Amino acid sequence: MKQKQIVLLLAAACFSALTGLAQVSETSLIIDKENRHAVMLPVQQPEKETREALRLRLKRSGLNEKMSGNVARYKGVTFSEISPDKIDIYTKVEPGPNNSSLVYMAVSRGYNNFTSSGSDSLLTENVKLFLQSFTVDASNHADDIDITNQLDDISKEEKSYQALLDEQVDLQKKRSAIDTKLLDIQNNLNLKRETIDKKKLDVEKAKSKHAKL
């Protein structure tokens, strides 16, 4: 029973791996006006994000790109995930359908000695495996961008909240000052009303006294 479960698990793992690898395909890429063998991977995220994710992924391995047109070049580099020998790597990322992107990678052993599945199947398979593993880096980069955007949104909301809070405090201070001023005015009005009424009463008394004389 256990052996059967192990076989089923291994079969599922192999199926998953084959399904993943099926995402990559061999194609061609124009490099220096020549049609070169390449491997292509579709990525379900925008071109700009994918290009930056690929650049960062290769930079972490010590590879620094040099752009020529829309193709990134890594000349005379050692990249153990693909080959223990020095190679030239060419990458290109272009827009795909439905806001996706297409990643191309071509490899040369130098002097335009580009690989293909026929002439150098091991190197081609290593390129496929690398691009397949890159889907994780692309996803992580997209998550990082999403988190950064959310943090930016939170920061903007916090600034807006603080601005409203400051405005509320300022208005409360103004309202307190206005209330105090209104109370002072009301007290002064009361005093003046009393003074006016007293003076009017004095006038009436004076008139009454004058009439009796």
Say how far apart CA 126 and CA 156 lie, in whole Å: 45
pLDDT at 110 over 90: no
Task: Kindly report the pTM of this predicted structure.
Answer: 0.66
pLDDT at 6 over 70: no
- State the pLDDT at residue 12: 39
Residue 205 located in a structural domain: no
Please give the share of the chain, as a percent, with pLDDT higher than 70: 87
Residue 136 located in a structural domain: yes
Residue of 9 and 112 predicted with greater confidence: 112
Query: How many structural domains is the chain composed of?
Result: 1
Residue 67 located in a structural domain: yes
Residue 208 located in a structural domain: no
For residue 41, the domain's CATH number is: 3.30.530
- State the pLDDT at residue 213: 64
Say how far apart CA 11 and CA 19 lie, in whole Å: 12
Closest C-alpha among 35, 30, 44, 120 to residue 82: 120
User: In Å, how far are 18, 37, 159 from 58, measured between CA atoms?
Assistant: 24, 20, 37
Residue 189 located in a structural domain: no
Residue 207 located in a structural domain: no
Q: What DSSP character marks residue 114?
A: B
Residue 18 located in a structural domain: no
Residue 9 located in a structural domain: no
Dig out the tokens for 5 from the structure. Answer: 């479960």
Residue 86: which domain range? Answer: 23-148
Q: Tens digit of pLDDT for each residue in 7-44? A: 334 433 443 443 344 489 999 999 988 999 999 999 99
- State the pLDDT at residue 72: 95
Residue 82 DSSP SS3: coil
Q: Tens digit of pLDDT for each residue in 127-162? A: 999 999 999 999 999 898 889 989 999 999 999 999
